[in-house]
Structure 1
Amino acid sequence: MKLVYGRNPVFEVLKSGKDIDKVVILKTLKSDKLNDIINLCRDKGIRYDFSNKKVLDQASNFQNHQGVIAYVSSFKYCDLNDSLLDKSKRVVILDRIEDPHNLGAIVRTAAATGVDIIIIPERNSCQVNDTVSKVSAGNIDKVKIARVKNISNTIDYLKSKNFWIVGTEVSGGRDYREFKVEGKIGLVLGNEGEGIRRLVKDHCDELIYIPLENGVESLNVSVTAGILLFYMK
């Protein structure tokens, strides 16, 4: 992870299109340039947090950070193309997963179950960072990870390459144990709090759920991924 600090350098790296994990801003900072940085983060769907001076000082090794630091990812995402999909049988599509611990755990399970590709959106989603890599327990390079602009359009693309797209629900659809595992499958997992967006859900070929007992309403998304990916292995 590379750190870029200073108001103008951070603003320029945000405009550059590089993969930014997050931006940390001094909570007491006020300036026109800061407003420009925040607006750019919002436009690009990049996470930004406010923190105190001690945190920024330590992160920048006491350099002149001017109250703002950008964390730039060094991870290399793969290109989603015909050649890659023609050779793939299992794909996981993550719709706005926010917690890096969940993403890391899903990467680890995906590697263990032979998933070929994990797909994440460019915006409003956790990106690959040091936490994701650590939680994956060294498996981050064993699964290809692609970033896309639009999940729904990507699902349509996968369908054109003969993937059957299966979305996950808390209680809708059918019991996952009734799902017949065959052919090329794309499994869609949704946001920790809101699940799969309606538009994305409408693009799925079918929906499945994991039956729960004892009044348990839902499972963590990484647990759901583990159950379903081993079932579909």
Structure 2
Amino acid sequence: MIRYYEDEENADHSVIHLMLNTDCDNHCILCCNDQYDLSSVPVVTVEELNNAKTVLLTGGEPFKNPYFADFVQNLRGQYKNIENLYVFDWESDMLIKTRSGYWYEVECKISLADFKNDFTHKRQKHELLKNGDEKRRRPNFFYYCVPWYLSAKVYPLLPDYAGLIVLKADGKLNEIKQAHCLHLQKYTDEELKLCDKFYYAYRNWKKCVERNQPTAEIKRLKDEIAFLKAEYKAVAGCDIKDAF
């Protein structure tokens, strides 16, 4: 049965899923796009983007959008309130969670030296991507993204588990090598502790703002953080462990 999209009651509007396109070659049997009338999905507003802390890009297959690179660059340039977050045990240049629940990680490199250093400085990460570990989580797909002038040099050095996306001179993206599926496991938001990570990112941003704000504004921000902690405890039934 096809359903019309409806915003969930008490939805967290600081997190936005942006559907960039509907085109996809994967044809997943359980794709949730087949369950909805996609014409009923609302268009995001400037106000919503101004209030967002996290934007998850989805589709279809977002990388099939020819203006993907320009869109991401403009999004980060115009909306400074959107912050970086890490989901796995390392910082990622870009993470995309599809509507079907799979995670794509994209590592961006602009020089050959930077690409080679990735395997030295992040050796444990690449061991995990290659071999897996039942006790540690990893994305379902892993890609490198490089500019056109690096593609011929990087391609022969790619590990088997990595895909390659090339940013062409005209600003469009081209998938040169499709990434292998590392695993089919889907992680819940609770397993990845996304709520904690979103909270800490928000709290740390507030602390940075405090340094340049008058006393009255600092008190208001601290009261807001205290309220968030209390709200989290009421929902989760436990305190947020402050590890900072």
Output the TM-score relative to the length of structure 2.
0.23
Structure with larger RCO (C-alpha < 8 A, sep 6+): 1
